[in-house]
Structure 1
Amino acid sequence: MIAEARMDALMNQGWPAAHSTELDGWLVRHNAGVTLRANSVLPASAPFDLGRALEYVENLYVAHDIRPSFQISPAVQPSDLDAHLAARGYELRNPTLVQCAAISDVLAKLPAPPFEVDISTTPSTGWTDRWWSVDGRGDDSRPIAEQILVRGKALYAMVPDGAQAKAIGRLALVDDTAGLYCLAVDERFRRQGLASAVIHGLLQAATTKWVWLSVLEDNAPARALYDRLGFQTVSRYHYRVKA
């Protein structure tokens, strides 16, 4: 399986921010406030002066009108950073599991889908319409979010409904692995096996051996699906966001 620190790095490459600033071992990401991952610090190595580093981060984010945020995993440096942030008034957000599986094992558990699944190297308008209808923030930030999608190499799967999509998913291609993102199904077509069909289509088109994903701890339906497909938890993370 994949080590926790490498998992952090892979996920960072799979969902890349527009701007990243190196700060004495920390990666300070900002992307106009769109998505928490792309607007949080990835603390990979301990800075020499923790107090100064925290002040720098907070000032930088405030200057960009972004709430200071940190992604906290078992590989966080310094190891007690979570406690420092809690004492500083940072709130815990989005406890998330990171899971991994061999692509061959997942495909062996998935039947060939009875639906047409289109695979592309770029997201169509129908793809992004469905994604934004499920995961969008309801504001004018969609163009910024779409830039994140295409900033790295990826495959895009769609179960078509005319020019629109019943279900979609994204597979980020990072080094010799792949990361599953943006799995979304139109609420009118849920519980019909569309999510499994999208996963099957993406993994069948992949040329890597391993696939990883992140899933919120409290997302019971998604966790049940991934458990059935043989995914195992290899890491976890949460965010600390300045109150």
Structure 2
Amino acid sequence: MPQHDHRHIQLLEELSLNAWPALQTVVYDGWLLRFAGGMSRRANSVQVLYPSSRPLDEKIDFCETHYERAGLPTAFKLTEAAPAGLDERLAQRGYRREGEISVQTLSLKGRSFEPSELATVLEQPESAWIDEFCRLNHERAAFAGILARTLELIAVQAAFVALARNGRVEAVGIAVVEREYVGLFGLAVDERVRRQGLGTALVETCLSFGQLQGAQYAYLQVMASNVPALSLYQRFGFKETYRYWYRLKG
């Protein structure tokens, strides 16, 4: 895998942190320990973003203590910009690697996108929208309260999108705009109505919102093994910028 601009990786990581806040964060020597009651790995893991000075083992011990106290497994979210030797040290300590994620970007310059006629775009997520988001993203209903609190903490411009036909929500997604970027999160289409153009309409609606807010670029995160989603995003012109993965204890 080619080396990418670490400053660009840091920018996109910062944007995604702001787009999907944790309920609690501990800042420790350049690392961010994020906690959100166990909902979503990204909001319940250590984000290794900035230079640090403490020894690796000392820092890993610190993280393990805090996640054990919270009743959560210790997980690290890593990119190629992580400190040298960290991934290897975690492996030596028994952390398994999982969740290969492709971070993809797209220039919106010179292009125009239109929202779908099926779309409802909310400035704030309503309880019914949250229920549909959980259903279509296969999140446990018990996490609905945590999701609501998480979305309330988004401090930048966001839109909560639903596509419905005949009164039934069939696709949902979130678009978050910051620093000329629109991030697409939680995109999901009902399995019973896939391959009917709803995914395309959902992405285009989110990109349209981003453009209205001044976004010049778009980014998203997708499982590297999710071939249908990768194919959809490729048709829009999204290209991989870098990958991240998790190291999970045990």
Question: Is TM-score (shorter-chain normalized) higher than 0.5?
Answer: yes
Matches within 5 A, 1:43-62: 43-44=48-49, 45-62=51-68
Alpha-carbon distance, 1:212 to partner:
0.3
Aligned match of 1:17:
22
CA, structure 1 residues 161+127, in 2 after alignment: closer, same or farther (shift >3 Å)? farther
Counterpart check, 1:149 vs 2:151: yes
| TM-fit CA distance, 1:162 | 5.3
Query: Alpha-carbon deviations, 1:45-70, whole Å to 9, x = none?
Result: 23422111111100000000010000
- Give 1:199's match in structure 2, choosing from 200, 203, 225: 203
The equivalent residue for 2:225 is 218
Paired residue total:
239
Q: Give a deviation string over 1:156-203, Cα, whole Å, max 9, x none.
A: 111124554111110012232111001111122211111111111122
* 1:99 maps to which of 100, 104, 108: 104
Change (3 A) 1:203 1:114: closer
Unaligned runs of 5+ in 1: none
Specify which of 112, 116, 119 is matched with residue 117 of structure 1: 119
Q: Are residues 29 and 240 of structure 1, via their aligned partners in 2, closer, same or farther at CA, if it must alter by over 3 Å? A: same
Query: By how many angstroms is 1:24 displaced?
Result: 0.7
Aligned CA-pair RMSD: 1.9
3-state SS, counterpart of residue 140 of structure 1: helix
Structure 1 counterpart of 2:77:
71
In the TM superposition, residue 79 of structure 1 has moved relative to its aligned partner by 2.0
CA contact (8 A) 1:29 1:41 kept: yes
Conserved? CA contact 2:118–2:165, under 8 Å: no
The aligned amino acid for 1:182 is G
Residues 136, 171 of structure 2: 8 Å contact kept: no
Distance in structure 1 (CA, Å) of the matches to 2:185 and 2:115: 19
1:141: how far off?
Answer: 2.1
Quote the Cα distance in structure 1 between the aligned partners of 2:219 and 2:107.
9
1:175 maps to: 179
Partner of 2:37: 32
Q: What's the % identity of the aligned pairs?
A: 29
In structure 2, the partner of 1:138 is: 140
TM-score, normalization by structure 1 = 0.91
Normalising by the residue count of structure 2, what TM-score does the alignment of the two structures yield?
A: 0.89
